[in-house]
Amino acid sequence: MFNNDLMADVHFVVGPPGGTQRLPGHKYVLAVGSSVFHAMFYGELAEDKDEIRIPDVDPAAFLAMLKYIYCDEIDLAADTVLATLYAAKKYIVPHLARACVNFLETSLSAKNACVLLSQSCLFEEPDLTQRCWEVIDAQAELALKSEGFCDIDFQTLESILRRETLNAKEIVVFEAALNWAEVECQRQDLALSIENKRKVLGKALYLIRIPTMALDDFANGAAQSGVLTLNETNDIFLWYTAAKKPELQFVSKARKGLVPQRCHRFQSCAYRSNQWRYRGRCDSIQFAVDKRVFIAGFGLYGSSCGSAEYSAKIELKRQGVVLGQNLSKYFSDGSSNTFPVWFEYPVQIEPDTFYTASVILDGNELSYFGQEGMTEVQCGKVTVQFQCSSDSTNGTGVQGGQIPELIFYA
């Protein structure tokens, strides 16, 4: 009977003017599936209408809700899931609403986290809001540079700019706010001028912690943007250089950011006169976690023959697809400590799936290596499992070798 005119005793005209769709319904079936429909058709204030107009719901989303009520089937798509969530909330269909939230959580990434944060607050979904904040905090620079950031409302903008745990350079926060202001001017049909950008930002401008920027970032970026007044620019320069610092309207305390956690997979390390050698070969290990985390980098061993510099190409893959890689150098002091090597941006890791961590090192051939490796490590609230990787061509495995640490945010 789903979407079938046979014996239909009500019709819905769904969607905004110019984009409506006429859909059939059966009052009894709908009333069983939704208390709102029950009140609409059989309650004390029920209206006996053959046609009901619903201009605020997307037709595809309304159909998805009807399909669930009639068939007990949940059919969600990325481009309509938010509209379906709105419909499920409006007509109090809680199981469908929960399925929509689960769908959004699994598809959550830095690209859509800011938009979903705005929507999760609107729909009063605290769990989804928390998941959005986790992504935005850990992958702040990617989230702030995403197109979706410019689509958020002013209240969400303020909450992000106020966030203490944003893991981003302040110049990136500043540039993101200006990008948002430019799009907001277009939304309000304002000319794209410096004055109007500042106008739409309002007091939110002072939530950007400009005095905490690196001096180069301020001098070459914010100071020349035109958004700051001459007095503000002068006062901030004095803040950087003068012993007696002027009072500023801007927040002058740096954000706390996030503290990375380290998962160490070896119980001991060692060196021998003929190990560990590098000849452009790959050291690799597979791992899986039981909670979503964000891999920021790896902790690597250094030279066992005194201080030395290494070139490291690090890579993170899932089922052969490269998710992140970086080529950088690090200095080891001859100790058995690990030395951090970072990805450009933290990489989102989903639970219960194996990922491959790889590194190709170039430098002093003799290095420390790990021993007594563990197949499972409890790191805070995160459990990490390790297994050998077929990509490893230089001897690294679960029991011993390189890549002793995963550095992550959780």
pLDDT tens, 183-229?
A: 999 999 999 999 999 999 999 999 999 999 999 999 999 999 999 99
- State percent of the chain over pLDDT 90: 85
DSSP state letters, 264-301: E-EEEEE-BTTB---SSPPEEEEEEESS-EEEEEEEE-
Task: Encode pLDDT of 369-383 as tens digits.
Answer: 999 999 999 999 999
Domains of the chain: 10-107 (3.30.710.10), 125-241 (1.25.40), 261-409 (2.60.120.820)
Instruction: Return the closest-CA partner of residue 276 out of 394, 374, 406.
Output: 394
Our separate counts of H helices and E strands in the chain read: 13, 15
- Report the SS3 class of residue 120: helix
Q: Name all contacts of 28-31 with Cβ < 8 Å and 24+ positions apart.
A: 29/1, 29/69, 29/70, 30/66, 30/69
* pLDDT value of position 72: 95
Tokens of 108: 């959550």
Strands (E), 15-172: 21-25, 51-54
Question: Which of the four pLDDT bands, split at 50, 70 and 90, describes residue 91?
Answer: very high
Distance CA 372, CA 321 (A): 30
Task: Encode pLDDT of 41-82 as tens digits.
Answer: 999 888 788 899 999 999 999 999 999 999 999 999 988 999
Q: Is 267 left (phi over 0), alpha (psi -120 to 50) or beta?
A: alpha
Could you tell me if 290 and 377 are in contact, meaning their C-beta atoms sit under 8 angstroms apart?
no
Report if pTM > 0.85.
no
Instruction: Tell me the C-alpha to C-alpha distance, in Å, between residue 27 and each of 30, 110, 114, 233, 400.
Output: 5, 42, 39, 65, 67
Please give the DSSP secondary-structure letter assigned to residue 247. Answer: P
